[in-house]
Amino acid sequence: MEVVIVADRQAAGELVGQAIADLLRRRPEAVLGLATGSTPLPVYADLARRCAAGEVTFAEARAFLLDEYVGLPADHPEAYRAFIARELEAHVDFPSGAVQGPDVRPTGADLLASCDDYEDAIRLAGGVDLQLLGIGTDGHIGFNEPGSSLASRTRLKTLTDQTRQDNARFFRSLDEVPRHVVTQGIGTILQARHLVLLAFGGEKAAAVARAVEGPVAAMVPASALQLHPHATVVVDEPAAGKFRQADYYRETFAHKPGWQGL
């Protein structure tokens, strides 16, 4: 795993935006895995800028969302499909239909079938080339809460109180935050060819340190990144505050060969 400590969110956005632009130049038909929440916004802002400047095109690319709330109207501004349309698609040149999220409208067995269909769609697209990830203060990735199987696939999950409270800032009240979600599983996420996890702010420091330097455990879903051959963790200074090996990560990145990329 590579850990990169950057000065601030904007520097993280530029670094990861550059990696995505490089990927799309190498492989214009790349499949991106998109995260939501506040964390990926600097990356999306950087990609919008690069697209406007003609430095990158998404014209042949495809993308899959990590997760989605269950029970919100499709046009609710916090529905993740609506979030991605607003924060990324509106500013870059994905063709229509190129970005897909799990269909969370069916209920019962049909919802379970829809989760399987989502797995099939990712597989049929050739798998995800680069998956963006945030991390919850409880260590979740996607909406795989602590205790999620490290082999899990796309399925229905129940949010922890901690996650609902963390996300209440996006809603009018805590009561409005859905309890249920559909999320790619940890096993699904681990099949992406490159994982890029971002974390900003001191409130993420404990979770990201446990994920990177603690034991691999279902109770810290993000620790599953340790099982992946190409995982990059990009953090700002406050989020790096609890690493034991921070100096080593800084030294490694400072002396990284220029040709290597992320």
List of residues contacting ligand PGA (CB under 6 A):
37-39, 134-136, 140
* Minimum distance from residue 172 beta carbon to ligand PGA (Å): 17
Question: Active site residue: 46, 138, 166, 236, which one?
Answer: 138
* Minimum distance from residue 135 beta carbon to ligand PGA (Å): 6
* CB closer to ligand PGA, 72 vs 135: 135
* Minimum distance from residue 152 beta carbon to ligand PGA (Å): 16
DSSP structure class, residue 56: -
CA 231 to chain centre: 12
Alpha-helical runs (H) found in the chain? 9-26, 41-52, 80-87, 109-124, 161-167, 186-190, 205-213, 246-254
140 an active-site residue? yes
145 an active-site residue? yes
Question: Active site residue: 103, 129, 140, 194, which one?
Answer: 140
* CB closer to ligand PGA, 57 vs 187: 187
Alpha-helical runs (H) found in 34-92? 41-52, 80-87
180 an active-site residue? no
Buried b / exposed e across 158-189, counting CB within 10 Å, b at 16+? ebbeebbebbeeebeeeeebbeebbbbbbbbb
* Minimum distance from residue 167 beta carbon to ligand PGA (Å): 7
* CB closer to ligand PGA, 101 vs 134: 134
89 an active-site residue? no
* CB closer to ligand PGA, 4 vs 181: 181
**CB-nearest residue to ligand PGA:** 37
Give the CA radius of gyration of the chain.
Answer: 17
| 253: Cβ contacts below 8 Å, ≥ 6 apart | 2, 3, 4, 5
- Give me the active site residues, please: 67, 138, 140, 145
